[in-house]
Chain A
Amino acid sequence: MPAAPEPPIGLQVDQVEKRYGAVYALRNLTLSIPAGECVAIAGRNGSGKTTLLRVAAQLVRPGKGTVSYSGSPDSHRPRIGFVAHATMVYDELTAEENLLFFAKLQGVENPKKRVAELLGEVGLKDRKDSLVRTFSRGMRQRVAIARALLAQPSLLFFDEPGSGLDAESGAWLTAHIRKLRDSGCTILMSLHGESETASLATRAIRLEAGSVIADTRRGAMFQSIFAGAAS
């Protein structure tokens, strides 16, 4: 697994509010994630997990509040890796074409070498010339992770990355996130319930109706954060 080449960066979300019509997705939410921390966000459906990740990645503009990275103004967006349930890759392109395309967009140096390296890491070297639409869900998610890691991001967001994966693919994903965590990346991941992936987190946050209702580090309260999140 490539180590993060740049020093890891922290994330500050300050009094963020996001509404969709009359419904609050995030309500006056403040969160500080130090560099190198691995944080799991739990909560029921509609609690604001996905919105929080998308606001933090600056994919969604909040109605109020600010997002900044290690104190930098939010206009200086760092290298961000984002893995969601949707694969964010093109079905009509091959695995290699997808990765080369995104590598060139992100200005990755020597994109062919980097893509070959990542295809090997995610175990898709033999299928690099196959169209993504012919892949299983697990294989698509591997391409998605390779895409997110192209520019060696120091800040990674995982939005329920394991949903729809079988046990083998789920275990592969957990092992991969562990390597990223150990390499020093700052990780923020939303999870639907307690899982093996959740055990990687050093801190857990529970959201309800767009607000943080619990925030704890590893310890006695840690497991309780995930209790009932899957319901």
Chain B
Amino acid sequence: MALLSNAAVLFGKEVRTEFRSRELLSTTIVFVLIVVVVFSFTFDPTTNESRRFGPGLLWMAFLFAASLMLQPCFLREQTNDTLSALRLAVQDAFAIFLAKISANTLFLLVTELLMLPVFAALFNVSFAAQLPGILLTFFLGSVGISVVGTALAAISAQARMRELLLPLLLLPLLTPILVVSTEVTVRLMQPDPAIEWKGIGLLAGFDVVFLTVLWLFGEYLLEE
């Protein structure tokens, strides 16, 4: 219970500081908007092509957003060495990860949901009928991206060339999520849409495995 209550307090702080400064969220939303618009100019988005290539481009944009958004989550804790204060205050270091993963997932989902109508308009596709499936895919994909990304952000925050290290590690490790999320989204955008449960299961499995690994070894990532 202490783990969850600590994580809830930490999550509240993450959300409060972000919505107070709006630095990360506004920057990322503008960046992803630019990426989606540029993609729409690059491809001639007739409906059939959009259904084939659109989801890949969309998830690519989300991945760029994540690499931008995840970088500061531990760097910010270094400014005044607040990470040390957190480590002394919490009983289980996993609470720090749990809070940051939850906050990053929330910020990523907000960005994705804001981009969805823009993408639908620019690429001439409709998501309305498959919204529950889309939301489920976005949620599971975002959790996976946040879990891996938060762990890597903790590692890269202590390294030299940290700005380069995170995207360098993030892109290959997130390839499975990117591929599966894209496939599930492609299926949802077909004329006869359906939820590909095998893909959903893979995404959920990926999330559970990485969360478990982080729960077991997360404390070591925070050590100096």
Contacts and interface: CB of A to CB of B under 8 A. Distances in A.
Interface of A: 54, 57, 59-61, 80, 82, 84, 86-93, 97, 101-102, 104-107, 147
A54 B6 CA distance: 23
Contacts of B86: 105
B10 interface: yes
Given A80-B88, A102-B89, A86 B224 contact: no
Given A90-B13, A105-B6, A105-B9, A57 B88 contact: yes
Given A104-B9, A105-B90, A107-B2, A91 B79 contact: yes
Contacts of A93: 13, 16-17
Given A92-B20, A105-B10, A59 B80 contact: no
B9 A89 contact: no
Contacts of B16: 93, 97
B81 A88 contact: yes
Nearest to B219: A61
Nearest to A108: B89
Main secondary structure on B side of the interface with A = helix
A76 to B, nearest CB: 11
Interface in B160-204: none
A162 B8 CA distance: 34
B223 interface: yes
27 contacts: A54-B224, A57-B88, A59-B84, A59-B224, A60-B224, A61-B223, A80-B88, A82-B84, A82-B85, A82-B88, A87-B81, A88-B84, A89-B85, A91-B79, A91-B80, A92-B20, A93-B16, A93-B17, A101-B9, A101-B13, A102-B85, A105-B9, A105-B86, A105-B90, A106-B89, A107-B2, A147-B85
Contacts of A87: 80-81
A87 B90 CA distance: 18
Contacts of A80: 88
Contacts of B17: 90, 92-93
Of the four ranges (under 10, 10 to 19, 20 to 34, 35 or more), the interface on chain B belongs to 20 to 34
A98 to B, nearest CB: 9
Nearest to B220: A61
Nearest to A92: B17
A82 B83 CA distance: 12
Contacts of A105: 6, 9-10, 86, 89-90
B47 interface: no
Contacts of B87: 59
B224 to A, nearest CB: 5
B88 A59 contact: yes
B223 A86 contact: no
Nearest to A150: B89
B21 interface: yes
Contacts of A106: 89
A8 B88 CA distance: 18
Given A92-B17, A93-B13, 17 more contacts: A80-B88, A82-B88, A84-B84, A86-B81, A86-B84, A88-B84, A88-B85, A89-B85, A90-B13, A90-B80, A91-B79, A91-B80, A92-B20, A92-B21, A101-B9, A102-B85, A106-B89
Contacts of A54: 84, 224
Interface string B1-36: 010011001100100110011000000000000000
A213 to B, nearest CB: 25
B82 interface: yes
B80 A86 contact: yes
Contacts of A102: 85, 89
Contacts of B223: 60-61
A109 B5 CA distance: 14
Contacts of B90: 105
B185 to A, nearest CB: 36
Contacts of B82: 88-90
A166 B20 CA distance: 32
A132 to B, nearest CB: 9
